Amino acid sequence: MSMSCEQASLLRREAMYGGHRLGPYVVLGLLVGMRTEELRALGWDRVDLENRTVVVTRSARFGGDTKTA
């Protein structure tokens, strides 16, 4: 079952402003559509805050493959 737009908006707001340790993880997943196994494998060496880019090259799945090349 997926979330409604209203539910996703409430979750995003709570993740951004609720002071939760995993808030950025939740926000990135919601806004970009990354899968949890891709988020778990993400390291700071793949995040460019200046250019606002994130490069996904692997996942935490067995074998490290992403669903899309």
Same domain flag for 29 and 43:
no
The boundaries of the domain holding residue 22 are: 1-33
Question: Quick one: pLDDT band at residue 53, thresholds 50, 70, 90?
Answer: very high
Taking Cα atoms as reference points, which of 38, 55, 37 lies closest to residue 46? 55
- The torsion angle over the Cα atoms of residues 57, 59, 62 and 63, rounded to 10 degrees, is 0
In tens, the pLDDT along 10-50 reads 999 999 999 999 998 999 999 888 888 889 999 999 999 99
Q: What is the number of structural domains in the chain?
A: 2
Same domain, yes or no: 28 and 42 = no
pLDDT of amino acid 32: 87
> Is there a single domain that holds both residue 22 and residue 42?
no
- 29 with 44, same domain: the answer is no
